[in-house]
Amino acid sequence: GVGMGGAFSAVSNDQTAMFWNPAGLVHAANTTVMFEHVTYFADINYDAVGATRRINDTFTIGAFAMAMGSGDMPVTTVAQPNGTGENFSVTDVVGGVSIAMKLTDKFSFGTNLKYVREDLDTEVATNFAVDVGIMYDTQWNSIRLAMAIRNFAPESELDGGYHDYQNGTPAEEATAFLPYHFPMIFRLGVAMDPILTDEHRLTLAADLEHPNDNIERVNIGSEYAFHEMFFLRGGYTFRHDTLGLSAGFGAKWQSVGIDYAFSEYGILEDVHRFNISFSF
């Protein structure tokens, strides 16, 4: 999905669908296991693991866990703006389960239920969130339509508090952290295969994103497959502050798949994503 510029809502057809559009899990293999590692800018790292199992022709279930960490950062204060000699870190951990249902030969539905824990130094926030997705195969000119909502959740709030400063002096009583909303995203997607033969496949896709904390974005992407064994991907994100071009490639041999994706973040460092999967 990342290699296609994030235009993946209507393309999701394997175990990674749980991170994009859980309805696509109905197209995954009977049993799958995947591992993913992402190196972000500013020494931020992200890791994910997931597994899916097709129960029957209608139901597919899955489970996943994700963790993102900032690494150590220096503690600074008003009195010691150059650092106290101590470090702190920020960590987000998500665990969840998925279920997808193939309601008809055209229509599928999926959802994730997620537990989220955020650690900011010694302060902690926990919450639950839900993802919902649908996919519709028009069965006309290979056109597929999709809709997905990610991170539908109540407000979250860090426990504890902080000491504000008044005229350079810390207040005696701690101020509670303000509640905040998760970054919820609504996506509409469309995809089609203008080339589809036994040897070659070309998929074109587009997603419209509406986040609750930013302006709308448009993602476009493509994937070329040779014998469904070798894959080339490319995409672009419009109306994003830093993200633009994305590209990637992959290979699949029997039950093993390997994928790599690259994303250009302008003045920030490039992001690299590695994924290995096993299908049975």
3-state secondary structure of 5: coil
In angstroms, the CA 170 to CA 77 distance is 11
Do 150 and 6 touch, CB atoms closer than 8 A? no
Task: State the first-to-last Cα distance of the chain, in angstroms, to the nearest integer.
Answer: 22
For the 2-75+87-156+179-275 domain, the top CATH level (class) is mainly beta
Predicted pLDDT of residue 78: 80
Q: Which of 104, 111, 7 is nearest to 60 (CA)?
A: 111
The residue written with tokens 């590209």 in the block is 247
Q: What is the pLDDT of residues 192-250, one digit of tens each?
A: 999 999 999 999 999 999 999 999 999 999 999 999 999 999 999 998 989 999 999 99
For 166, the token pair is: 């008044």
Q: Model's pTM, two decimal places?
A: 0.89
Residue 163 has pLDDT above 80, yes or no: no
The residue written with tokens 């129960």 in the block is 55
Q: What is the pLDDT of residues 107-121, one digit of tens each?
A: 999 999 999 999 999
Per-residue pLDDT averaged across 10-19, rounded?
A: 94
| Sequence spans of domains, the chain | 2-75+87-156+179-275
% of the chain residues with pLDDT over 90: 81
Predicted pLDDT of residue 2: 84
Residue 168 has pLDDT above 70, yes or no: no
For 29, the token pair is: 């293999």
Residue 132 has pLDDT above 70, yes or no: yes
